[in-house]
Structure 1
Amino acid sequence: MKQQNQDELLAVLERLRAALQDVQNEYTRLVYALNGKEPSVARTRSLLSSPAALKGEKPASLSFPDGRTKQTYTWRKLVSAVLEDCGSIPECRDRLVAVKNIVAGRKRVVLSDDPSVMNVPLKISDGLYFEGFFDTEFLFKQLRYVLDLAGYDYSEITFQLRERKHEQTEEQESVGEPEEESGPTMSM
């Protein structure tokens, strides 16, 4: 088998593995929900996870395979941290520099040496920026596309999701803290 075919097959297998992990996480959540319990398993996802499944979620932290962790409370901060790590590897950075100002999204350039042509430039390294003005799903699709162009291995990068708001409210109720009012209010 040619090296390119092997690489493509490995990429497909990694995506399938991530999809299976998503299914397993959802199965565990549903089993616990049916039994009226909260799962004790962490809400951990891989960068290979389905980007569509991340809508409505928020990240808490990012973990690299070498054990480094970083708090990332927004998707853009998470993407920036991964891109900075990618840009710190000379071979990966050189590959991205070679395609800067060429790689485009739906309407604008995704990689550029000029941050002024971007709505939300995320710095990869000196003179290299990534457009961060996308919804969660498209942001992750573009991130993975750029990381693949760089030859950067992100298959073992994981991140923790924040607890959902309704879960936090239930926890507050159980410890006796007052629930915040929601909905419209009248004032004169």
Structure 2
Amino acid sequence: MTMDWSAEQISQMRNGRATYRDQAQGTALTWVRTGAETAGEYGLLYAEYAPGIRVFPHYHTLYTETLHLFEGTLDGRIAGRQVQLIGGQEAVVPPRAVHGWRTTGDRTLRFVLEVRPAHPGFEKWLVTLQNMATDGLTHPDGRPKNLYHGALILMESDIHLPGPGRLLDPALQMLAVRARRKGIDRQLEERYYRQA
């Protein structure tokens, strides 16, 4: 499967859209199409990542991700296979495929990420996480520093830890339930998402 979006089309689609920047880590995210706009068919995210940004290994169970690079270099693993992508290339990450990556080289990574079908929790919590990073509430690879925050984001975004980390799923689910009871989800939403 190949995405047909050109850099020019994505640039036009970004007009008038909110861009969420984390100056400290050098990332910027823009949802150019949300599930609400596509009747749940897909969500489309445009992103810019400075060299050296890492995304921790994880997997999803409910959606496929397709990553298309416009510029820069990405090194990582998808389902145990080593990948290196450069501008013009793409990779498909099916459900349950463990993946993680980092930007390499000296150019900013510019890419689009399609999530199919769309996942409203992923859309919401990715923006929230980006805004939390701006306030220093995450590690450099995007993991939240607070366990309640991490559990909420992982569970509500369909992000799962691989290998031995899978054993933590029941504990993370319990922490997410407790976080909702304490109103932490609403607090994060009010501060880091609704402002969007």
Provide TM-score, normalisation by structure 2: 0.28
| Larger helix percent | 1
**Relative CO higher for 1 or 2, CA cutoff 8 Å, sep ≥ 6?**
1
Structure index of larger Rg: 1
| Larger strand percent | 2
Provide TM-score, normalisation by structure 1: 0.29
